[in-house]
Amino acid sequence: MKFLDEAKVYIRSGDGGAGCVSFRREKFIEFGGPDGGDGGKGGDVVVECVQGLNTLIDYRYQQHFKGKTGMHGMGQNRAGGKGADAVLKVPAGTQIFEEDGETLLADLTEVGQKIVLSRGGNGGFGNAYFTTSTNRAPRHANPGQEGIERTIWLRLKLIAEAGLVGLPNAGKSTFLATVSAAKPKIADYPFTTLKPGLGVVRLGDREFVLADIPGLIEGAHEGLGLGDRFLGHLERCNVLLHLVDATGDHAGEVYKTIRHELEAYGAGLTEKPEIVALSKVDAVDPETLKTQMARLKRAAKRTPLKLSAVAGIGVTEALGSLVQVIDQRNREAAAAEAPPWHP
């Protein structure tokens, strides 16, 4: 299945059904009077968060969604039926924006959430509605209201508790494959990962979701490489695991490059808790490892972890640090949502 995390969609709710002009014509009934029914309401456009989806690929093949028109009113005071709704099914983590791409309409983070984006037009009144003491035989009815049309953007941001960042070929996919059952593409050339991936990590009796995104390079915020659009999938993460390749040129400069790209993207990524690790430590000699650790420590202003997903070095320590930060952030969020205590 292809991965698509952004789609532009045109929606239009259904028109309301027209009211009916009708009179009761029955044998031996001299003054039957008006009996035209009201029109039915037009169908709404509803967005629903469902289980079993992890991409917006369905909206690559269909971009227009329209609610059905309400049924027209009929004689004998029969009202028209409501038009069928148009339902857009999206995965958890989908955000809905106006056509400008900036005005947020909804953020669907839980399965079962629904939002009505465009309500169908009301049905028109039949001539029976206009009967008064002075107008006993009205010969007009209302047309139904028109539906609402608009263009929206659907943007998927994966829901993960921890995220991996780093240059291409820094060992992010290898780490994800080692600690979870995910099977990302792994090779010895840059930009092996072309789409974000998720994996469920188990450490003891604790589970959390880890996200892997394509690597960043210098100038990614200007469109170089694969760009920085995939950083949107890290906005929901509680903590970032920053991997720096020990076999690279200068670990400190590499760290500063990634931090600069995160700062250029914004969205509060630089303010998130960060765990720094020097990866592929089994592929360098002790002298190079010592030099790279010192460079990375000066740049990050903290002692980095030593990590090798292939050799299993430091994997448990890195996961333990992630779980510790995730639990702390969850406790802070729960405390902020709890109502104040009153005697």
Instruction: Give residue limits of the domains in the chain.
Output: 1-157, 162-337
71-81 pLDDT, tens digit per residue, is: 999 999 999 99
- Tell me: is residue 133 an annotated ligand-binding position: no
- Tell me: is residue 47 an annotated ligand-binding position: no
Find the length of the chain.
343
3-state helix, strand, coil in the chain (%, to 5): 25, 25, 50
Average pLDDT over residues 206-225: 76
- Tell me: is residue 103 an annotated ligand-binding position: no
- Tell me: is residue 214 an annotated ligand-binding position: yes
CB atoms inside a 10 Å sphere around CB 67: 28
Q: What is the pLDDT of residue 21?
A: 94
Architecture of domain 162-337: 3-Layer(aba) Sandwich (3.40)
Q: What is the DSSP letter of 228?
A: S
- Tell me: is residue 190 an annotated ligand-binding position: no
Lowest mean pLDDT among 169-178, 213-222, 280-289: 213-222
- Tell me: is residue 191 an annotated ligand-binding position: yes
- Tell me: is residue 132 an annotated ligand-binding position: no
Q: What is the pLDDT of residue 276?
A: 87
H or E stretch at 212: strand 206-212
- Tell me: is residue 309 an annotated ligand-binding position: yes
C-alpha 208/C-alpha 201 separation (Å) is: 5
Q: Which CATH number fits domain 1-157: 2.70.210.12, 3.20.20.10, 3.30.465.10, 3.40.920.10?
A: 2.70.210.12
State both tokens at 153.
């953007």
- Tell me: is residue 281 an annotated ligand-binding position: yes
- Tell me: is residue 282 an annotated ligand-binding position: yes
- Tell me: is residue 172 an annotated ligand-binding position: yes
279-315 pLDDT, tens digit per residue, is: 888 888 888 888 888 888 888 888 888 888 888 888 8
- Tell me: is residue 166 an annotated ligand-binding position: yes
Positive or negative: CA dihedral 135, 141, 145, 146: negative
Residue found under tokens 């202003």:
301
- Tell me: is residue 318 an annotated ligand-binding position: no
Q: What pairing do the DSSP bridges indicate for beta strands 114-118 and 45-49?
A: antiparallel
- Tell me: is residue 195 an annotated ligand-binding position: yes
Average pLDDT over residues 131-136: 90
User: DSSP string spanning 105-174?
Assistant: EEEE-STT-EEEEEPPPPPPPPGGGG--SS-SS----PPPPPPPEEEEEEEE----SEEEE-STTSSHHH
Alpha helices in the chain (DSSP H): 58-61, 172-179, 251-265, 286-300, 315-337
Average pLDDT over residues 40-53: 91
- Tell me: is residue 193 an annotated ligand-binding position: yes
- Tell me: is residue 310 an annotated ligand-binding position: yes
* Band (67; pLDDT cuts 50, 70, 90): very high
Distance of CA 145 to the CA centre of its chain: 32
Asked whether the beta carbons of 322 and 241 are under 8 A apart, the reply is: yes
